[in-house]
Amino acid sequence: MGYRITLAAALVALAASAPMAVAQPPDTGAIEAQRAAMARLSFTEGRWRGPAVTTTPNGEHRVTQTERMGPALDGTIRVIEGKGFAEDGTVIFHAFGIVSYDPRRQAYNLRSYAQGRVGDFPLRLTDTGMVWEIPAGPMTIRYTATIGNGTWREVGERIVPGQPPRRFFEMNLVRVGDTDWPEAGAATAP
């Protein structure tokens, strides 16, 4: 019974705050900072394709990996969809990510959905691409993407304290074209 009362109180509070959130004027300074931060990722936009290999205790798993990345919310975020295809065309890996920028913290974030998991991870831009890390118990999973001149090379490494990094993933993609995704087909005014 207490759970229902708590849930009901939370729903009432949420409903009461919704009109206030909608009525708030936009923070144009934050929006412009987000657009500027996302512009630094414009080199990633488009459609990409190429081979990827993951090494597991059961051996190597090879796929044709595709990525598409584009702006959303008027250029204040970037969205990414990755798909890995088996030789017969079956999708065996499917992931979705949202890259955002928080001007107050002056930090990028990657919200990732993949393989039934979801997480938020700090994303750091480098001179040649980007890096993000995923805590995994006593180890860290680090992905390093090097992107330029129409190529996207990404490696995944397991980092265990006191041991050298061990690579378990690599993909080498080429840019195959532009994309109007995700804005294409978006709702418009009547």
pLDDT for res 24: 83
Which of 86, 95, 29 lies closest to 68, judged by CA?
95
Residue with tokens 């009432």: 12
| Amino acid found at 119 | G
More confident residue, 17 or 139: 139
Instruction: Determine the Cα–Cα distance for residues 30 and 72; give it in Å rounded to an integer.
Output: 16
pLDDT in tens, 70-91: 999 999 999 999 999 999 999 9
Q: Identify residue 152 by its one-letter amino acid code.
A: W
Q: What letter represents residue 92's amino acid?
A: I
Q: Enumerate the H helices of 24-110 as residue ranges.
A: 28-39
Cis amide leading into 182 (omega within 30):
yes
Q: Which residue ranges form the domains of the chain, and what is each CATH number?
A: 28-177 (2.40.128.20)
User: What is the pLDDT, as a whole number, of residue 7?
Assistant: 55
Give ∠ CA 60-61-67 in degrees, rounded to 5.
135
DSSP β-bridge partners for residue 153: 146, 172
According to DSSP, residue 10 is labeled H
CA dist., res. 114 & res. 7, Å (int): 29
Q: Give pTM, 2 decimals.
A: 0.84
Q: What is the mean pLDDT of residues 14-22?
A: 55
Q: Is the pLDDT of residue 14 over 60?
A: no
Q: What is the pLDDT of residue 187?
A: 83
pLDDT in tens, 170-189: 999 999 999 999 988 778 88
Sign of CA dihedral 122, 123, 124, 130: positive
Q: How far apart are CA 131 and CA 98, in angstroms?
A: 15
Q: Centre a 10 Å sphere on the Cβ of residue 125 and count the other Cβ atoms it contains.
A: 13
Task: Give pLDDT tens digits for 111-158.
Answer: 999 999 999 999 999 999 999 999 999 999 999 999 999 999 999 999
